[in-house]
Amino acid sequence: MDLTPTPSQTAGPYLHLGCTKLHSIQRIFGPQARGQHLNLICRVLDGDGRPIPDAMIEIWQADADGKYNHPDDSREGTRDPHCAGFGRMPTDEQGVCQFETIKPGCVPAANGMQAPHLSVSVFARGILKRLATRIYFGNDPANAQCPILSVVPKERRRTLLANRDPVQPEVWHFDIRLCGDQETVFFDV
């Protein structure tokens, strides 16, 4: 048997079959979870503003107290037992997917506290490895002191901000633009 590695592949057309059809997780937190419950609507767009109908979004986040559901988070305090902290959804024909979650708390960094945010991975055709970004909450006062957000050029920070729906305050909208003039800031992780 020949075990020669094959060349890298893009996510390809099987992404939805293998990763999302059977393994979608829309609700990141249960109804009893502590904190501000919200619906997050993500939209993935190409450089011309056209929807990407076959992308997959993964989200990892802390609970309302800033604790992660992960063994490496050994800080004092009890994590919310109703918190999975992870979600995964495919985009639909309009490039949209929706998550039911809560607004996370601030989490520590080496040089201060990070503003409430969601860590996001984007997978789609034509992408050889995941794109990593973050979603911060527009108008959150903690954004001004966040050591991670502060390294992003000021004129580009808006690409990382979710906006509250003016009619439905529990709904937040976030666009992920894969390229172009309004490209979302992606992190090299």
Number of separate domains in the chain: 1
Residue 48 within a domain = yes
State the pLDDT at residue 103. 97
Cite the beta strand spans of the chain per DSSP E: 37-45, 56-60, 86-90, 96-102, 107-109, 112-114, 117-123, 131-137, 161-164, 171-177
Cβ–Cβ < 8 Å for 161, 137: yes
Q: Is the pLDDT of residue 13 over 80?
A: no
Give the mean pLDDT of 24-49. 93
Phi, psi dihedrals of residue 68, rounded to the nearest 5°: -90, 150
Residue 135 lies in a domain: yes
Question: ∠ at Cα 83 (80, 87), nearest 5°?
Answer: 160
Tokens representing residue 67 in the block = 């604790």
Q: Is the pLDDT of residue 6 over 60?
A: no
Query: How far apart, in whole angstroms, are the C-alpha atoms of residue 19 and residue 133?
Result: 20
In a domain, 9, yes or no: no
CA 67 remoteness from chain centre: 17
The domain in which residue 95 lies consists of 15-177
* Residue 152, domain member (yes or no): yes
The predicted model scores a pTM of 0.88
- 38: domain CATH number? 2.60.130.10
Q: Which pLDDT belongs to residue 3?
A: 57
Q: Is the pLDDT of residue 140 over 50?
A: yes
Is residue 179 over pLDDT 50? yes
Q: Average pLDDT, stretch 30-42?
A: 94
Strand partners, 137: 162
Bridge partners for 146 per DSSP:
none
Torsion of CA 9, 25, 69, 119, to 10 degrees: 50
Q: Is residue 188 part of a domain?
A: no
Mean pLDDT of 55-73: 89
